[in-house]
Amino acid sequence: MTPTFSELTVGQDLGSRSIEVTRTDLVKYAGASGDFNPIHWNDAFATGVGLPGVIAHGMFTMGAAVQLVTDWAGDPAAVVDFQTRFSKPVPVSDTTGTPDAGAVIEVSGAIGALDADAGTARVDLTVVAGGQKVLMKAQAVVRLA
């Protein structure tokens, strides 16, 4: 059921989800985005520039996180603004030959503020991978009926 603005309260929980990420996901994202930076697929290169290994694209992580909001709102066009700060990389280990994910991104959301004049709600997201916050001040503004 699509939420309406009048039903919302500050602090209201939107739920959570776990997003499993594999290196195959990163390769697919690279193809779709055109971002073929080797830090997203080549361990030797990534460690050579001081990273812990292959890391997820920042925009991949950001897009995966906001999916919680678009699913909750019932319409991706309801999200009128989304911004964040990237605080930590998401290392994606090599799981070739296993069914395991290389990383898991945990996302939860809650209503942070309501603007009755604009008919918008600010959704505050908590985004964690490997026990560390990977996005800070992840906030989506949603316009609801």
According to the model, what pLDDT value does residue 96 have? 76
Full-model pTM: 0.92
Domains and CATH numbers, the chain: 5-143 (3.10.129.10)
pLDDT in tens, 68-116: 999 999 999 999 999 999 999 999 998 877 767 799 999 999 999 999 9
CA 82 to each of CA 30, 71, 99, 103: distance values in angstroms, whole numbers, following the listed order: 21, 15, 32, 23
pLDDT in tens, 41-72: 999 999 999 999 999 999 999 999 999 999 99
According to the model, what pLDDT value does residue 2 have? 86
According to the model, what pLDDT value does residue 98 have? 75
Query: Per DSSP, what are the bridge partners of residue 129?
Result: 105, 132
Closest by CA to 63, choosing from 12, 143, 138, is 138
